[in-house]
Amino acid sequence: MYKAFYGLNDNPFSIAPNPHYMFLSDRHREALAHLTYGLGETGGFVLLTGEVGTGKTTVSRCLLQQIPDNTDTAFILNPSLTELELLATLCDELEISYGENPTLKQLTDLISMYLLNNHKNGRNTVLIIDEAQHLRSEVLEQLRLLTNLETNTKKLLQVILIGQPELQQLLKRQDLRQLAQRITARYHLLPLNREEIALYVLHRLQVAGRHEPLFTRKAIAALHKHSGGIPRLTNLLCERALMAGYGQGKVPIDHKMVNQAAIEVLGDIDESNEKRWPFVAAAALVLAFGLSFYLFNRTAIDENLSATTALPQAQAQAQQPVDEPITTITANKPLIQVQQPQAPAQSTPAVNAEQQILRQAMLQSNSIDNAFAGLFGLWDKQPIIGLSACQAAQQQNLACYQQQGNWNSIMRLNYPAVVYLQDAQANVFYGVIVERQVDQILLQLGEQQFWVNKDWFDRHFSGTFEILWQPDSILPREIGQASSVAELQWLENSLAIVSQRRARLLTQFDSELEQQLMQFQRQHGLKPDGIAGNQTLIQLNLYLSQQGSRLSASEERR
């Protein structure tokens, strides 16, 4: 329903285990390493536990992809079985034939014969049991007896138990101590942290065809808070938040949409702050009363002072500016004519009139489409009815790039940008940064333009901005250790241009290139993994592109 609106070609947050969306965090890779080690030559039992939805099945599927071809695998998804049913299911998975109404001994003998034949033919056998916390103790004991079949160097049946944390408690039982002693590797999979949640969401969006971030930093924080770092819950929250954004016609997804999604999906209402409000209000009332009483008495005392003391105080107060100083905000004269004050006594009305014009423009700039229309105009392009801004950009040989950052992030890239802003009441409005002069920018709000300084911008900027740019060439998908020499040399040349140094002649991906790449990634808020992935390559090409306008012609974008 919302795919075209967000520029997606697939549903990125389905809870179905689609292997195309497999995301391996550092925790998942560590879990995979433990399982792989456990399935070494010695064999035995391997244990993987974790809370519901943390990605245990994802790790097991990735493990299956790495198992050698000379391995026969049995996968049991429903372990709520008796000993006889478990052995029969294992025979079914391994395609072992058995007659009607077999006995426990008959099934055991058939499985033992199969394992011996496999070992004789140089093949391994692995049994993976998901939801293993539901296994009965007598079934676990039967599994242990199956693993008794061994040679001098290895077990002929290797068993991977995957389950929730209750499985750990189950294996602590006294009658299962023999099995517990045969576990050669165990790993408890923890939820994702906040940084990993951000990478997880971005990864799924990229697989679905959107290469720009869609969630604000506060939205990612809210996702982590409500989901607890569990990928499955994150998918549910993201799906509902995207539906809300589509219904409201808003991009990007902010924390308010995520909070509402949490209420709808999880019934997650943080009442702690709401419960504190009456106490806070009461305390504020007491403080206000006390302050008023103090000021009242202080005023009575001050009235008894001499007129010679009161007059300088009154003059000093009259010279205090009522609002922001006039140097902070100045209307762009070709569009708005605001008279400058001729005398100090007129400064306050002039500043107030100027600020009133700006505030009115802020209230009227609540359409992101109008902001993008202004950005398209700077590229001598125009929006296309029925298409999102990024889709319209693609139709006109431009690329759309969204990023979270600050003043320095925007100025470093040096492109005109649509910026997501907030007023003092947290109401969202949108503007276009048109030009920069030192610490001032020309900000377009609707049809009006204003010069504002860095302090004003920092107080109103929400952290999200979008730019249009024109790639000079088709980007490779990734540049790393295994890339061609031509691609490595291009990466070295690009990094040298950005850092304003001489490029080296490369024959391989050496440590110096990796360090230069990681330094570039750290400077731009990217994961410093030493691999030039999609986001890194886009960031590099933003610097290298010679097309389109810039905020400042003399700006050094380093």
Q: What is the pLDDT of residues 114-124, one digit of tens each?
A: 999 998 898 88
Pairing of strands 461-469, 448-453: unpaired
User: Could you tell me which residues come within 8 angstroms of residue 304 by beta carbon, excluding any fewer than 6 positions away?
Assistant: none
Q: Do residues 368 and 251 lie in contact, with contact meaning Cβ atoms separated by under 8 Å? A: yes
Is pLDDT above 90 for 58?
no
Is pLDDT above 60 for 324?
no
Q: Where are the alpha helices (DSSP H) in 73-150?
A: 83-93, 104-120, 137-146
Most confidently predicted of 82-96, 379-393, 524-538: 82-96
Is pLDDT above 60 for 291?
no
Q: In this structure, what token pair is assigned to residue 119? A: 């070992």
Q: What pLDDT, on the 0 to 100 scale, is given for residue 283?
A: 55
Separation between Cα atoms, residue 45 and residue 143, nearest integer Å:
10
The torsion of the CA quartet 347, 353, 356, 357, rounded to 10 degrees, works out to -120
Q: What pLDDT, on the 0 to 100 scale, is given for residue 416?
A: 93
Report pLDDT digits (tens) over 134-193: 888 888 888 888 888 877 777 888 899 999 888 888 888 888 888 888 887 788 888 899
Q: Do residues 336 and 357 lie in contact, with contact meaning Cβ atoms separated by under 8 Å? A: yes
Q: Is the CA virtual torsion 168, 171, 177, 178 positive or negative?
A: negative
Q: Do residues 19 and 61 lie in contact, with contact meaning Cβ atoms separated by under 8 Å? A: yes
Q: In this structure, what token pair is assigned to residue 155? A: 């077990």
Length of the chain (residues): 558
Q: In this structure, what token pair is assigned to residue 325? A: 């100083």
The rounded radius of gyration (Å) of the Cα atoms in the chain is 32
Q: What pLDDT, on the 0 to 100 scale, is given for residue 23?
A: 82
Under the banding of pLDDT at 50, 70 and 90, the label for residue 338 is: very low
Angle among Cα 464, 465, 469 to the nearest 5 degrees reads 150
Is pLDDT above 90 for 43?
no
Is pLDDT above 90 for 257?
yes
